[in-house]
């Protein structure tokens, strides 16, 4: 990873890369995703049985044997809480982002298909469909939920590919005992420095 970070500094900086270097986009993503998933996870933890029944409505897992459904209802809320906490703290950011991507990639199409099923059984405008999707936020208007999930998915993708570790707790641990020196501003490995900052941060603009 360090090698990856080091080589990245040599790459030409595009607009996104420049923005990523500030660490602010990732920080915003971490706060939004982290808070959202901690909130949704704790809501599910408050009533795991309701969550189990909600998961069952998608018919992705068999009723018998019940262990798959039961295990999903027990573990998934904690997975969300752990992923959210990891993002907020800035530890294992990529793993947390990947976990969120997988969860959203599974449940968003499931919610969509369930909405279509409801529409088929009780014909109505798609924009009127609302039900408790088991997302931890109660009864929701489904088209809004789908858009919000897509947004969260894109944010998680952003967190996955971001190379910045500024404002991340993991940076603190990586620096300790690591032979490579890291820029105090962007968090990237320092190849050449100027005034305590890596060359990428120091020029331009010149901060001397």
Applying CB under 8 A, the residues found at the interface with other proteins are 1, 4, 45, 47-49, 52, 56-57, 59, 63-67, 69-71, 73-75, 77-79, 81-83, 86, 92-99, 102, 118, 121-122, 124, 128-132, 139, 160-161
Burial class (CB in 10 A: 0-12, 13-18, 19+), 29: buried
Choice between 19 and 197, CB closer to other proteins: 19
* Smallest distance from other proteins to CB 108, Å: 18
Nearest approach, Cβ of 55 to other proteins (angstroms)?
A: 11
Backbone angles phi, psi at 194, to 5 degrees: -145, 120
Q: Which long-range contacts (CB under 8 A, 24 or more apart) does 66-71 make?
A: none
Which residue, 32 or 160, is less far from other proteins as judged by CB? Answer: 160
Other beta carbons less than 10 A from residue 173's beta carbon:
11
Q: How far is the CB of 71 from other proteins (least distance, A)?
A: 6
End-to-end CA distance of the chain: 30
Closer residue to other proteins, CB minimum distance, 25 or 48: 48
Find the shortest distance in angstroms from Cβ 190 to other proteins: 19
Closest to other proteins by CB, 8 vs 148, is 8
CA distances from 6 to 18, 177, 190, 194 (A): 15, 17, 7, 16
């Amino acid at each position: 990873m360090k090698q990856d970070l080091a080589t990245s500094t040599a790459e030409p900086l595009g607009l996104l890369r420049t923005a990523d270097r500030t660490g602010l986009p990732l920080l915003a993503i971490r706060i939004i995703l982290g808070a959202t998933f901690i909130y949704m996870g704790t809501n599910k933890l408050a009533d795991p049985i309701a969550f189990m029944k909600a998961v069952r409505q998608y018919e992705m897992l068999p009723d018998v044997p019940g262990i798959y459904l039961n295990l999903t209802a027990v573990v998934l809320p904690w997975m969300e809480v752990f992923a959210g906490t990891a993002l907020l703290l800035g530890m294992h950011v990529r793993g947390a982002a990947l976990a969120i991507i997988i969860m959203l990639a599974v449940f968003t199409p499931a919610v969509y298909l369930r909405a279509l099923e409801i529409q088929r059984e009780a014909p109505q405008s798609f924009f009127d469909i609302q039900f408790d999707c088991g997302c931890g936020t109660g009864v929701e208007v489904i088209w809004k939920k789908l858009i919000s999930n897509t947004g969260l998915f894109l944010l998680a993708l952003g967190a996955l590919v971001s190379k910045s570790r500024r404002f991340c707790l993991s940076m603190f641990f990586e620096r300790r005992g690591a032979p490579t020196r890291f820029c105090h501003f962007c968090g990237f490995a320092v190849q050449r420095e100027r005034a305590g900052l890596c060359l990428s941060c120091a020029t331009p603009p010149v901060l001397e």
